[in-house]
Structure 1
Amino acid sequence: MLWHAIAPARRYTKASHDVVRHPRLCSDAKILLLYVQGLPDERTHLALSEHAQKIGVKGRAYQKAKEQLVMHGFVHERRVSGERGLWVTHQLFSNVPLSDADALAVWREVGVGAGASPSAHSPTVGEPGPRTVGRQLPVEEEREKSSSRPPTEAPAESVTLEALPPQEAEAERVLLSLRHVSRELHLGVLEARGLVAQAVEWLRRGVSVGELRRVLSSDLPEGGVRSAVGFLGHRLMQKMPEAPQGQRRAPVAPAAVEEEAPPPVPPYVAPLVTCQGPGTEHVFRSMAGETECPDCQQAAAWARWAERRAADLGVDLAEEAAAAVEAGRSPDGWRARLAAAAASGASGGQ
């Protein structure tokens, strides 16, 4: 980015970097602040809204800019009783943030709201009339009826709030921070505690803190918010995002009457049976009344298949088994088993 600037020799306004780079002031608020700061003395009697109209800041944009300036201490307003009992609103504009105490000191210094003394007013028109007899209430009765002091109330008990878990405390901070976005969304601590449960559910469903603040503070009604608690509670409920697939909870069934569970049934264990197949004597568990173990059954099936295959090819299995023994191979191999099965089949056939 290239930067080129020429310092003006006249007709300029000094602006602090704290104002130009203020992170919570919109552009309209900054322009209005700089415009009013550079006004001559003879034009400072106009209201802030009239100055805003001259630079094109009107309607909702002006209301938003003024709210930010008031919120951050650049604009202060005070209503005082003027002449003839009329109320007058005085505006105090500053290019640096002022607290309420600082603004009150400035007003007292210039004499705003002091009012004129009774002797300075013009005398009342007309002659004083005679006193009306029988129209005035007794002293005790009049004090009882028109006393300006409210009845004495018992001091309210201080409410001690419990500390919240981290996620609920974060949701409470979001709700309380809405007052900085819009004065209409100002919540008390107890009011925010009543909405914490709904706000936490938003965070549990994957909504970030910034997104939650944006949803709650954007698109406010044109007529203003009458009740911050009711408005935020309705928006939290109506705009609740959908829960992720893994976080959906199954409906809770009504509690059933507890019944005594039956004793567990022991698993079935098949008995040990001696295998009737060839080879070394061994046992196995017969599940359905088998007489041979699975290995012997598989060897017998291979033997029957080999016998049929040898008959088709004209091969003598006994000779193959003898050749295997002469070659030094184990007689317990499949060839020996096939030869034994073929020999037992031949003897059974005779």
Structure 2
Amino acid sequence: MLWHVIAPSRRYTKASHDVVRHPRLDSDAKVLLLYVQGLPEGQAGKALSEHAKKLRITGRAYQRAKRQLIAGGYVHEWKRQGEYGFWVTDQLFANVPLTDEEAGVLRESWVGVVVDDRPGAQDPAVGEPRGRVVGGCEPVDEELGENYSHPPTEEPEASAEPEASTEGEASGAPGAPGAPGACGEPEPVEVGEGQRVLLSLRHANPQLHLGVREARGLADVAAEWIRRGVSAADLRRVLTSGLPKDGVRSAVGFVRHRLVEKLPAPVAAPPPSVAPSPVREFVVCEGAGEEHVFRPVADEARCGPCAREENRAYWAARRIEAENEPDPLPWRERIAAINEGERRRERGAEAGPAGVLVAVSARGSARDAGKGS
């Protein structure tokens, strides 16, 4: 690597080697740190995010760089409730790592805010605290993103009110306590995910715009796809690809047809696990030595060590027998013995048993015949 460096004489920012070579700061965090360090005093009142936008460090990159600067002690933040109940965020930037205590002392001396975490130390917010009264249930009669004007309905008579409520519960109308998706009743995870996929089709293609009620009516079929191993991205791809050239006339009918006709086969059940073989009882080993027991694998009567010792003794005896056997006759003597046997048969004499016994009995004569030849 060639190295050519010229020290600037003006318009430069001094950077510590601890910052440039910091192992836990990425390039965005280091650039943002050096950029803010070299700002003039007139721009010190801006937030750190505004300076990051000028460097085109936004989104997740900015959040990651900010977390690294906070973890390294270069940036400190405090949230306090200011005048009229509005919340204010104070940011402290430093080109050297500072602890929380050191940063608190600097904040108190510069901003004039006393850091006190005790409850009730500052002015309370406007109004009295109260619990959460909304949220936790999706709208039933209203489609997300659109508003419809509903004309006022005629108020039923007092005697007809109980019957109307009973009919609504029995019919399972949306919004009834027993209807799917009602507040307080748990919904399967697959159904909720399928409904979200159906509602997101409008972003992939405006022709597949579904309302909340329409998506809820098809959520059970979409949930069956997810139960059969299809991911949400694959389901969205199947429903939005290969649309008709003349356009989709009915989004509900088109989506329902694809969900039903292209439903994949159910996932095959895993093969049943093979039950392990039953554990055998202990038996007494028939081998030599002190009496002991073992657990057999099949029908063996000796344990492993005793069986190996018996095999070792058996083959040792066979090796000794093989070493004590007489040497086999040379081929000349065997041929001479065979010829001698043939001559005896021709003379009408009793012939001995063929094979090795004849050869052994005639060994001496054949050896003499060989010497004579």
Q: TM-score range by the shorter chain?
A: 0.3 to 0.5
In the superposition, the TM-score normalised over structure 1's length comes to: 0.41
